Amino acid sequence: MSSREAVTVIGLGAMGSTMAEVFLAAGHPTTVWNRTPGKASKLVAAGAVEAATAADAVAASNLVVISQVDYAAMDDSLAGVDLSGRVLVNLSSDSPDRLRGASKSVDDRGGTLVTGGIMVPPPGIGQPGAYVFYSGPADAVEAHRETLEVLGRADYMGADPGLAMLYYQAMLNMFWTTLASYMYSAALIGTAGVGPEQLRPYAAALLSDMTDEGPMGFLKILAAEIEKGEYPGDENNLHMQAVGSEHVVDAFEQVGLDTGMPRALATLFARADAAGHGLDGLGALIEVIRKPAL
């Protein structure tokens, strides 16, 4: 009999199935359940127990890890299920306020909700570098930390149930916009017959410069400016960058490409310029981000 903590995994899509595989490989007795039948056969062959119902799945383990499309799926799956004494760790995506409401609902039913956001795709779960944002009751996270860290480093962000999702969505925003920007740029140079691989090393160098921990790292400088609320623009003011952003839009228009992302950026720059930040540095953009246009 295994000495490892028993765990239940609810939701057997790509993420949930991989989580269950990782728990099994680490020696954790694992019960699985999915709303749509027929997804557990491979896991059962590897040693998992398939629960007949959601109620049976929750009853099987004190720790229940949920990976579904959203929090409405959890509500639907666990309707009428006794949650008394159970710690539910929901790694599904949704809005921060939705997580806060779910936390209260689970608490009212005698359970404890730990919210989370896992920051790797399925192949990265349980691999070096994997990490997960968690929020909610600290004692619940600590009680199950050893098991949760089978999936990846457990970064506890605070008691507010919405915090894990705020971090998760913030990271996804940076991830998606960075990759989309590369695709826009690859399309732009592609109109001149230049392949994306020829752009890649320059893009990689730019990202390295942005994340450098030295005194010239762009993100480090920007974070310090935002912390202070001071945005020096002596060397490269925002007005000049607003003008330049319009030139970027022109370049995309002239070759017949989509202008959605560059136009959105130029509009943001123009708003900051019009709001009186023209002589400030780029960091002043956060002031208009904090005050969305009506």
Residue among 51, 100, 136 at smallest CA distance from 145: 136
Q: What angle do CA 49, 117, 108 make, to 5 degrees?
A: 75
**Structural tokens at position 34:** 């999915």
SS3 176: helix
What does the DSSP 8-state code read for residue 280? Answer: S
**Tokens 């017949």, residue?**
256
Displacement of CA 290 from its chain's centroid (Å): 21
CA distance 194 to 236: 30
CB atoms within 10 A of CB 108: 9
- Architecture, CATH, for domain 7-159: 3-Layer(aba) Sandwich (3.40)
| CATH 3.40.50.720 intervals, the chain | 7-159
Fold classification of 167-289 (topology level):
N-(1-d-carboxylethyl)-l-norvaline Dehydrogenase; domain 2 (1.10.1040)
**Tokens 């893009």, residue?**
203
CA distance 47 to 67: 20
SS3 161: coil
Quick one: pLDDT at residue 236?
87
Quick one: pLDDT at residue 2?
67
**Structural tokens at position 81:** 């299920």
Over the chain (294 residues), what is each successive 10-residue block's mean pLDDT?
A: 89 97 98 94 97 98 97 97 98 96 97 97 97 98 98 98 97 97 98 97 95 88 95 93 97 98 97 96 95 78
| CATH 1.10.1040.10 intervals, the chain | 167-289
Q: Are 125 and 19 in contact (CB under 8 A)?
A: yes
H or E stretch at 232: none
Residue among 219, 216, 251 at smallest CA distance from 235: 216
SS3 65: strand
Rg, Å, the chain Cα set: 23
What contacts 85, CB < 8 A, 6 or more positions away? 62, 110, 111
What contacts 157, CB < 8 A, 6 or more positions away? 133, 134, 135, 163, 164, 167
Q: Are 173 and 155 in contact (CB under 8 A)?
A: no
